[in-house]
Amino acid sequence: MHAPAAKPKPEPATLVAAAPHNAAAPLAALRDMAAEVGLSPIQIVRDFANLALGPGKVSFDDYVRLRLFSLDYWAGCDRRTVVGQRANRDLLVEVNYRHDWYGLIDDKVASSAYLSAYGLPTMPIAAIFAPRLRTGAAHVLHSREELERFLLRDEIYPLFGKPAEGFQSLGSIALRRMDAARGEIETIGGACVRMTDFLDDVTSHYRGGYLFEPFLAPHPDAARLHGERLGTTRIVTLCDAEEPRIFRASWKIPSGRNAADNFWRSGNLLAKLDIETGAIEKAVSGIGFETKLETRHPDTGAPLVGARVPRWAEAKALALEGARVMRHVPMLGWDIGSTAAGPVIVEMNETPDLFLNQLPDARGILEPDFLAFLTEQRHARKAYETRVKRQVAKL
């Protein structure tokens, strides 16, 4: 007899555990693209095939999400320099060939401690839910009961929670205050979640570790633009044999009820930045057919174009210093928060999603500067692998 199939674990009631992704239906998308740009479906298919067979390995979903069918949107850019998700992943795994460093980066506690040891400002940790541990540290919560007692303390709020190992803000939540009488926690976005549901979700789905951080106030200039949420700049650095340098930068701007700034969250904005000044040159919302230029923030009404990332020179310097510390991983995406106290590293990513740079910039990454960097890293990888083989041979 076959064993009964295991029942799938229910999705968390209070936390978003997966980003929504609706792949484009090809025939309907072809009709919509043809109607928008005034070309026949056959012409659209030929154009897509040219990019799909190119170095960027663009999928049909990439073609739609990045609006590559619109020559007006990509005016002045060679679209064959654009990389799709598959090429994005493959290139970064090749460039960041020291895969032994990935575990450090993926673990938020480890990465924060490592960067802090070198004197770089990172997000402070208020508590860690780690039920598998038996340490005596006061900020380590070992059980549901300890987690509940922590959440009942008024002085810890506002608070931001996220998985110790996660990405794209999945499983995260921003909490404003606790209403013990009602047994509810109010989120920064104004919703209320039942304490018992939140405890169920954390203890059931994140037994590998869940972090709580103080919800840091944004710099006053950033708050005037997007409200009291911490938006981050995604700064991509390249580190070669010489010095690290900034390759691309964008500003992830929260809006609506979103406490996290990730662009997949409906309503959030993504801005192209002038790398020298940190000024917004263009801001967009939505992807694919929904992409549109934004001139003012939907909540505050503040003008977007011309707004500057606060203390931008310091933010750039922080990303570059982080790249020096993490020199074994040559290409990194840094999420730098503009707080009232100055720039702080929120996260680093060894496989940054280059969609966040290509869409607002309307510019691909496979340009001469990056191709030269890629060639250099291929040589460096061969030299590293040769050294490792010699060391192993001596054992």
pLDDT of 27 reads: 85
Name the pairing type of β-strands 140-141 and 127-129: parallel
Q: Do 207 and 352 sit in the same domain of this protein?
A: no
Is it the case that residue 23 has pLDDT exceeding 60?
A: yes
Interhelix angle 85-95/368-393, nearest 10 degrees: 50
pTM of the predicted model as reported, rounded to 2 decimal places: 0.89
**Is residue 6 very low, low, confident or very high in pLDDT (cuts 50, 70, 90)?**
very low
For residue 158, whether the previous peptide bond is cis, meaning omega lies within 30 degrees of 0, is yes
- The count of domains in the chain is 3
What average pLDDT does the segment 153-164 reach?
91
> Among all chains, which residue has been given the structure tokens 């693209």?
33
Q: Do 224 and 209 sit in the same domain of this protein?
A: no
Residues of the chain with pLDDT > 70: what percent?
93
Is it the case that residue 295 has pLDDT exceeding 50?
A: yes
Q: Do 276 and 164 sit in the same domain of this protein?
A: no
Q: What is the pLDDT of residues 345-380, one digit of tens each?
A: 999 999 999 999 999 999 999 999 999 999 999 999
Mean pLDDT of the chain: 90
- Asked if residue 8 is part of any domain, the answer here is no
Q: Do 276 and 354 sit in the same domain of this protein?
A: yes
Q: Do 163 and 295 sit in the same domain of this protein?
A: no
Q: Do 204 and 234 sit in the same domain of this protein?
A: no
Q: Do 194 and 274 sit in the same domain of this protein?
A: no
- Asked if residue 378 is part of any domain, the answer here is no
Q: Do 110 and 156 sit in the same domain of this protein?
A: no
**Is residue 256 very low, low, confident or very high in pLDDT (cuts 50, 70, 90)?**
confident
CATH of the domain at 274: 3.30.470.20
Nearest Cα residue to 139 out of 116, 179, 169, 109: 109
Q: Do 226 and 346 sit in the same domain of this protein?
A: yes
Q: Do 287 and 228 sit in the same domain of this protein?
A: yes
CA–CA gap between residue 238 and residue 244 (Å, rounded) = 5
pLDDT of 1 reads: 45
What average pLDDT does the segment 132-148 reach?
88
**By residue range, what is the domain housing residue 332?**
92-122+218-364
CA–CA gap between residue 62 and residue 34 (Å, rounded) = 17
Is it the case that residue 150 has pLDDT exceeding 90?
A: yes
Query: Of 191, 214, 237, which one is at a domain's C-terminal end?
Result: 214
For residue 207 the two structure tokens come to 């037994």
- Asked if residue 52 is part of any domain, the answer here is yes
- Asked if residue 98 is part of any domain, the answer here is yes
- Asked if residue 373 is part of any domain, the answer here is no
